[in-house]
Amino acid sequence: MKIVQVLATSGGVGGLEQHTFNLVNELSLSNEVHIIAHPCYADKFNPQVIFHAVDFARSRWNIMLLWQLAKLIKSIQPQIVHSQAGKASELVARIRPFLTDVKIVTTVHGTKKNKSAYLVGDAVIAVSKALTQGIPEAKAHIVYNGVYPQSELSIDAKQKLKHSIDQQFPSLDSTKKIVMCIGRLEPVKNIALLLQAMQEIDANLWIVGDGSLRQALEAQVRQQQMQDRVAFLGFRTDARDLLQLAHVVALSSDREGFPLVMVEALQSDKVMAATKVNGVIEWLPEMYLADIGDAQGLKAAIENALNQTSQLDFQPLFSRAKAELTVEAMTQQTLQIYQHLLSS
């Protein structure tokens, strides 16, 4: 099968980008896969993936961008064109009249109210149930995000990693339990809410990630006098190794499609506390959830997660995540959608 994937972001790696890298690389093992993406992502793909660099920093109304994209797709002559998220879907929707003998698939990753661009697709994939809202039932498919399994660190490697963080942050009591948050320090992730929720909890908070709000959040930590309990670890390439040191993984976002950090946490047998964002509400038990923006509710959810009995509540989810939330499962489900379109 000849497939074109379109990723129209232009820098940074979040859940959307990681999803696309994983899907494209896995699809390329048994199909001819072309990816049209910004040059900054060229090194993210297997050698068998055919990479086409396009500058997507330009506006979605840019006539040269639309012309270049249409010309490129026509020259490849794919059977399937699959656009990832809003901007890519809008661009493909605009050039749709020029693309003949091809099936269009779009994937909804976030909570956009206007889904008209996605509806150009012959099939529309949503990464969580909530995101199928406003999509005709005949077109809608749910395919959860998957990740590659992470091998467990040895006890020795875990101790070394923990020791290196303890040395970096000597003001933290290294005997306390660790609540971990992994994500960009941007408004949508609402780390400020997590800091409020953690104010009276006797545990350390490790914040893994960077972003425009870092200074403001560091100031909030000083204001709340939590310097001896909060560590800003910054952007780390070993985030999934660090995850193995956590007692609880916390998610305080205002908005999500289907958070990859939840997938990674459950696959690493880590209990969670989270706000009631898309994806999370389909997986986590109620007592580990809080209303969006509710600091007291999130505090209660974290306290429940820190309790020993939480392991029993999460055990079935750990097994389910290892079976269902994999790159292989995500790819097989996506391929089935392609095959169904081509045979109809």
pLDDT digits (tens, 9 = 90+) for 174-192: 999 999 999 999 999 999 9
At residue 342, the pLDDT reads 96
181 and 312, same domain (yes or no): yes
274 and 233, same domain (yes or no): yes
At residue 14, the pLDDT reads 78
Which residue in 188, 172, 302 sits closest to 254, CA to CA?
Answer: 188
193 and 241, same domain (yes or no): yes
| H helical segments located in 130-244 | 155-168, 191-198, 214-223, 239-242
132 and 182, same domain (yes or no): no
The answer to whether residue 91 scores a pLDDT higher than 90 is yes
Which residue in 322, 166, 321 sits closest to 242, CA to CA?
Answer: 166
199 and 127, same domain (yes or no): no
107 vs 89: CA distance, rounded Å: 8
Mean pLDDT of 294-305: 98
Mean pLDDT of 50-72: 95
Beta-carbon contacts of 58 under 8 Å, excluding residues fewer than 6 positions away, are 64, 65
141 and 178, same domain (yes or no): no
The answer to whether residue 258 scores a pLDDT higher than 90 is no
Q: Which domain holds residue 41?
A: 2-147+326-343
E-state strands within 239-317? 248-251, 271-275, 289-290
The residues with which 51 forms a beta bridge, in sequence order, are: 35
- Is the torsion defined by CA of 47, 48, 50, 56 positive or negative? negative
Predicted confidence band of residue 272 (pLDDT cuts 50, 70, 90): very high
The answer to whether residue 114 scores a pLDDT higher than 80 is no
182 and 100, same domain (yes or no): no
146 vs 127: CA distance, rounded Å: 10
330 and 281, same domain (yes or no): no
pTM for this predicted structure: 0.83
223 and 88, same domain (yes or no): no
Domain CATH number, residue 178: 3.40.50.2000
At residue 113, the pLDDT reads 66
CA atoms within 13 A on the CB side of 6: 31
Mean pLDDT of 218-229: 96
The number of distinct structural domains making up the chain is 2
> CB–CB of 308/271 below 8 Å?
no
85 and 206, same domain (yes or no): no
Mean pLDDT of 290-304: 98
> CB–CB of 85/110 below 8 Å?
yes
Predicted confidence band of residue 115 (pLDDT cuts 50, 70, 90): confident
At residue 12, the pLDDT reads 76
Mean pLDDT of 226-248: 95
At residue 130, the pLDDT reads 86
Q: Which residue has the tokens 């091998």?
A: 151
- DSSP-based helix, strand, coil % in the chain, nearest 5: 45, 20, 35
**150-168 per-position pLDDT tens digit:** 889 999 999 999 999 999 9
The answer to whether residue 104 scores a pLDDT higher than 80 is yes
127 and 274, same domain (yes or no): no
302 and 171, same domain (yes or no): yes
Which residue in 61, 126, 125, 55 sits closest to 94, CA to CA?
Answer: 61
